[in-house]
Amino acid sequence: MEQKKLITYTAGHAPVRKQLLLFWIFFIIGAFTIGGGYAMILMMKRYLVEQYHWLKDEEFYDMLGISQVTPGPIAVNMATFVGYTQGGVLGSVLATLGVSIPAVAVIIVIAVFFPGFKDNVWVQRFFAGVIVGVVAQIATIVLDLGKRQKWTIVSIVICATSLGILFFVHQVSPIWLILGGGLVGIAVEAFKPHGTAPAAGKSAS
């Protein structure tokens, strides 16, 4: 049984500077990632794991997983989560505002000043190009997560089954897959013979 602490609790006595930094980081993430929550993951990981070392790799991906079982946009979930663990309640408010304000502001500007925005051919071409970049960024996360995954028979079966369902059964809500995977994880743990602790997690850095 791993005894890693998930979260480094600095909540409650986080300095104001850190709370403002939380706002700023999530504002940047919200302002500069086009294409919704999935497109933000790589940039979040850059800032939160690699640059500021607030989270370990594993913690980051655990939060990402939890963000998908809880209601609402993934970006908001992540911001609230990281904001709270790093900066307390005020930190969570600021991080959530940070990731949301650009989205609200840009839409108001477009609605007021550029109603024909999306029909502009240059906008369409630019966006098609951005998608090329977004796809590459999400693929980077896929490779990273695949590398870090503890590949066992169970995890291979879960992953393959989920992929099969996603590709061949249309209109399936991710929540059922996520819950299904989690329950399989619990079942495996329940039926595991006593005394055989799982191998310690890879300490990939």
Partner 1 sequence: MISFLALFGVFFKIGMFTFGGGQAMIPLLQKDLVVNLAWVPMKEFLDFVAISEITPGPVAINMATFVGYKLRGLTGALVTSLGVILPSFITILIIATVAHTFRTNRWVSAFLDGLQPVVLALLTYAVYSIARGGIPAWWGYVASLGILLLILKYGKKLNLFLVLLAAGGLGLLIFR
- Which residues between 56 and 85 bind partner 1 (CB under 8 A)? 58, 61-62, 64-77, 80-81, 84-85
From candidates 37, 54, 55, 60, binder to partner 1 by CB under 8 A: 37
Size of the site for partner 1 (CB under 8 A): 109
Q: 141 Cβ partners below 8 Å, 6+ apart?
A: 41, 42, 45
> Of 100-119, which residues contact partner 1 (CB under 8 A)?
100, 102-104, 106-108, 110-111, 117-118
Min separation Cβ 17 and partner 1, Å: 21
C-alpha to C-alpha distance for 200 and 93, rounded to whole angstroms: 36
Q: Which of 93, 79, 81 is nearest to 28 (CA)?
A: 79
Which residue, 20 or 38, is less far from partner 1 as judged by CB? 38
Q: Is 178 in the site for partner 1 (CB under 8 A)?
A: yes
Site string for partner 1, 134-173 (x = CB under 8 A): xxxxxxxxxx-xx--xx---xxx-xx--xx--xx-----x
Nearest-10 crossing angle of helices 16-32, 37-45 = 130
| 200 CB-contact burial (10 Å; exposed 0-12 / middle 13-18 / buried 19+) | exposed
Q: Is 180 in the site for partner 1 (CB under 8 A)?
A: yes
Q: Is 120 in the site for partner 1 (CB under 8 A)?
A: no
Q: Is 130 in the site for partner 1 (CB under 8 A)?
A: yes
Q: Is 12 in the site for partner 1 (CB under 8 A)?
A: no
What Cα–Cα distance (Å) separates residue 149 from each residue in 4, 145, 175? 16, 6, 20
Tokens, residue 183:
């329950």
Q: Contact 82/98 with Cβ under 8 angstroms?
A: no
Min separation Cβ 163 and partner 1, Å: 5
